[in-house]
A and B are shown apart, each in its own frame.
Chain A
Amino acid sequence: GEDVEQSLFLSVREGDSSVINCTYTDSSSTYLYWYKQEPGAGLQLLTYIFSNMDMKQDQRLTVLLNKKDKHLSLRIADTQTGDSAIYFCAESFMASNTGKLIFGQGTTLQVKP
């Protein structure tokens, strides 16, 4: 079945790196995404990775994918107070081609000055 899990809370100091982890169960997922949600707002796509890739870097963001362990992580370098938000990982399935996303529970990132 489809299940995506994340740790619920992470607290870091400004300037440190943050690593947010996600595990999923369905190995047929095609793309894996990271979304950011600020309080009272919708979701903003941060980055995504194709399931046959191991790593993707985009400025301060690094996504690592361990397909064998079905583990996805998002590393934010030089974390800033503006990075405080809820981060969701999500997976999609090309085979279904419906655009449907399965979300994790979200990780609340707290950045202390």
Chain B
Amino acid sequence: GAVVSQHPSWVICKSGTSVKIECRSLDFQATTMFWYRQFPKQSLMLMATSNEGSKATYEQGVEKDKFLINHASLTLSTLTVTSAHPEDSSFYICSALRWGSGAVGYEQYFGPGTRLTVT
């Protein structure tokens, strides 16, 4: 099956610093990836759609200058949390769309998540 990895799996950073999270599709190319944020015991909130070679599409209420997304290759999307603050502490999950599979013509594969703690 298709595999999506995230790095790092967890990170602790100081308030005011920036943190970069990587999402990789290991055995397929993904022109579309998604970034989600999950608070404890809550659902996944879609933050943005990452499109290879073009700007990301952000959901309403998500600050694009704070959460920078770069999808520079067909297998890698990065999320950079700039000037992180404690309220940015969360579990960040990415997913990658694999076209040409699944009943709908595509299937979404999820990474294992990255736990960010800002102190």
Contact = CB atoms under 8 A, between A and B. Distances in A.
Interface residues of B, number: 23
Contacts of A43: 44, 93, 95, 110
Contacts of B115: 40
Interface stretch (B12-20, B64-72, B75-83, B101-109): B101-109
Binding site of B, secondary structure by majority: helix, strand, loop or mixed? strand
B43 A42 contact: no
A50 B34 CA distance: 22
Given A8-B41, A40-B113, A42-B6, 18 more contacts: A31-B103, A31-B104, A35-B110, A40-B115, A41-B112, A42-B93, A42-B111, A43-B44, A88-B44, A92-B104, A94-B104, A99-B34, A99-B49, A99-B97, A99-B108, A100-B34, A101-B34, A101-B108
